[in-house]
């Protein structure tokens, strides 16, 4: 990184703040000054440079710093020629400009997400003089539910509560070939944008169900205010009691996103789903699965610990066996981990951007970090390769499968 001044603009833009600051630390004051004047820096790099110079005054281009090498040479020569003369008392260096170590909230969140640490001096001083963008607790009434809903939508987009947005849910249905007369049940309705998007785009009726009561209430309120009030409902439900909300032989398509792995009796849930599908109806789902049942690395263990609900992830092969046992015809089981992780990263970049303006209550920050801890653990487990995201589609076969040894009769 010593050649920071010579790298291309494209390479410079790709540097993380940590790499950028490391490069600055290896440059002389005059080189930094020339670099600052000659290169066009991004807003993030400009801020990092300003912070770096504030924390390292010896790297600023001053008369003292610019003459330091020559002065050192003269002292060395003088020592050789007349060592008997008393040495002059060194001039005390200027005191560093007072730095309270303040790092903006968005920078802190980004560094935390990226696994980076703040500079020790900044972190130490910040602990003495906290100056984060946080309002006093009594500055405004606290509404934890409203804070959480705002945070979720800042990450995933208005009306969304999962990575990929409304379009991802619609894309999952492509192979099921939904039409205008299709009746769909969405067991992961969230804040309802996906449900409403399916209803409007497909001209279909969608019954949305959401296990989080707060999300369901907010989602249905929005649906009731639209033209899709009757065709895009979102109601709360208990995933362990699917038979209470799904009628038998009713739905053409049932959608479920990332929730089956949190059920201790996945077989019972899939059995109800199968009974609720019309003949040849499709079950379309995404879920977290284990790459290997025999081994779990540190990231997967930390993911289990971070989840609000206990996780019971299966493997792809276990899913296939269970679906076949329940008379599903498994059409596809695709690994979508790469696109899913990319969607998580995109969502958190949007969250960081939203923190660059405004002030935030302590409750808001605490809620943000709690939500972030879940998704950070998921992201790291997925990036480790031991946890994957699978997109499956299975068609319900009506009637028992016949064996070649079964008796046959002709009426």
Give the residue-averaged pLDDT of 377-405.
Answer: 83
Q: What pTM value is reported for the model?
A: 0.68
Give the residue-averaged pLDDT of 52-75.
Answer: 59
Q: Is the pLDDT of residue 407 over 70?
A: no
Give the residue-averaged pLDDT of 238-253.
Answer: 94
Q: For helices 17-25 and 43-55, what crossing angle results, to 10°? A: 40
Give the residue-averaged pLDDT of 95-122.
Answer: 59
As a dihedral over the C-alpha atoms of residue 301, residue 305, residue 310, residue 312, rounded to 10 degrees, the angle is -10
Q: Is the pLDDT of residue 110 over 90?
A: no
Phi, psi of 8 (to 5 degrees): -70, 165
Looking at residue 103, its pLDDT comes to: 59
DSSP string for residues in 271-285: HHHHHHEEEEEEEEE
Q: Is the pLDDT of residue 331 over 70?
A: yes
Looking at residue 185, its pLDDT comes to: 96
Q: Is the pLDDT of residue 360 over 70?
A: yes
Q: For helices 165-172 and 193-202, what crossing angle results, to 10°? A: 60
Looking at residue 258, its pLDDT comes to: 95
Q: Is the pLDDT of residue 19 over 70?
A: yes
By the 8 A CB rule, do 319 and 394 touch? no
Pick the residue with more confidence: 29 or 398?
29
- Torsion sign over Cα 376, 382, 386, 389: positive
Model confidence over 162-181: pLDDT tens digits? 999 888 888 888 888 888 88
Q: Is the pLDDT of residue 302 over 80?
A: yes
Place of tokens 């008379």: 327
Structure tokens, 357: 């303006």
- Every domain of the chain and the residues it spans: 144-396
Looking at residue 60, its pLDDT comes to: 80
Q: What is the C-alpha separation between 89 and 325, in angstroms, rounded?
A: 88
Looking at residue 246, its pLDDT comes to: 96
Pick the residue with more confidence: 140 or 23?
23
**Count of CB atoms situated within 10 Å of the CB of 185:** 26
Give the rounded percent of residues in the chain with a pLDDT score beyond 90.
Answer: 48
Looking at residue 50, its pLDDT comes to: 80
Confidence of residue 281 (pLDDT cuts 50, 70, 90): very high
Confidence of residue 118 (pLDDT cuts 50, 70, 90): low
Looking at residue 292, its pLDDT comes to: 92
Looking at residue 119, its pLDDT comes to: 53
Pick the residue with more confidence: 263 or 119?
263
Looking at residue 189, its pLDDT comes to: 94
Confidence of residue 62 (pLDDT cuts 50, 70, 90): low
Looking at residue 29, its pLDDT comes to: 84
Confidence of residue 399 (pLDDT cuts 50, 70, 90): low
Query: Measured between alpha carbons, how far is residue 382 from residues 112, 314, 320, 350, 400 in Å?
Result: 18, 15, 21, 20, 38
Model confidence over 181-216: pLDDT tens digits? 899 999 999 999 999 999 988 889 999 999 999 999
**Count of CB atoms situated within 10 Å of the CB of 265:** 10
Q: 26-40, 86-100, 335-349, 354-368 — which is least confidently predicted?
A: 86-100
Looking at residue 361, its pLDDT comes to: 85
- The alpha carbon of residue 284 and the mean position of all alpha carbons in its chain are separated, in whole angstroms, by 23
Place of tokens 């995109």: 346
Q: Is the pLDDT of residue 143 over 60?
A: yes
DSSP-assigned letter for residue 87: P
- For the chain, what is the radius of gyration of the CA atoms? 30
Overall fold of domain 144-396: Rossmann fold (3.40.50)
């Amino acid at each position: 990184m010593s050649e920071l001044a010579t790298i291309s603009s494209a390479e410079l833009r790709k540097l993380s703040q940590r790499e950028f600051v490391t490069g600055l630390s290896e440059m002389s004051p005059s080189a930094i000054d020339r670099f600052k004047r000659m290169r066009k820096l991004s807003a993030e790099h400009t801020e990092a440079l300003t912070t770096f110079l504030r924390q390292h005054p010896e790297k600023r281009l001053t008369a003292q710093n610019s003459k330091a090498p020559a002065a050192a040479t003269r002292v060395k020569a003088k020592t050789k020629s007349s060592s008997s003369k008393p040495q002059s008392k060194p001039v005390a260096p200027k005191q560093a400009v007072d730095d309270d170590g303040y790092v903006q909230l968005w920078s802190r969140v980004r560094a935390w997400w990226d696994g980076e640490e703040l500079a020790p001096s900044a972190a130490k001083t910040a602990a003495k003089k906290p100056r984060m963008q946080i309002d006093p607790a009594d500055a405004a009434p606290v509404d934890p539910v409203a804070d959480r809903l705002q945070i979720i939508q800042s990450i995933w987009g208005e009306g969304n509560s999962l990575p990929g947005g409304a379009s991802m849910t619609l894309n999952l249905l492509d192979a099921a070939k939904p039409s205008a007369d299709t009746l769909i049940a969405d067991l992961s309705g969230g804040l309802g944008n996906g449900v409403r998007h399916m209803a409007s785009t497909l001209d279909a009726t969608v019954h949305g169900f959401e296990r989080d009561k707060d999300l369901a209430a907010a989602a249905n309120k929005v649906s009731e205010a639209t033209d899709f009030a009757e065709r895009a409902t979102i109601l709360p439900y208990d995933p362990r009691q699917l038979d209470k909300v799904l009628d038998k032989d009713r739905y053409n398509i049932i959608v479920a996103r990332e929730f089956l792995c949190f059920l201790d009796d996945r077989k019972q849930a899939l059995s109800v789903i199968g009974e609720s599908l019309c003949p040849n109806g499709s079950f379309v789902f995404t879920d977290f699965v284990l790459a290997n049942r025999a081994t779990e690395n540190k990231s997967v263990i930390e993911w289990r610990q971070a989840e609000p609900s206990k996780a019971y992830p299966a493997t792809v092969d276990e899913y296939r066996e269970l679906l076949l046992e329940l008379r599903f015809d498994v059409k596809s089981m695709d690994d979508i981990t790469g696109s899913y992780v990319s969607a998580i990263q995109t969502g958190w970049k949007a969250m960081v951007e939203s923190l660059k303006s405004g002030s935030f209550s302590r409750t808001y920050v605490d809620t943000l970090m709690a939500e972030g801890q879940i998704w950070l653990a998921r992201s790291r487990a997925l990036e480790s390769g031991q946890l994957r995201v699978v997109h499956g589609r299975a068609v319900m076969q009506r009637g028992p499968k016949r064996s070649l040894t079964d008796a046959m009769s002709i009426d």
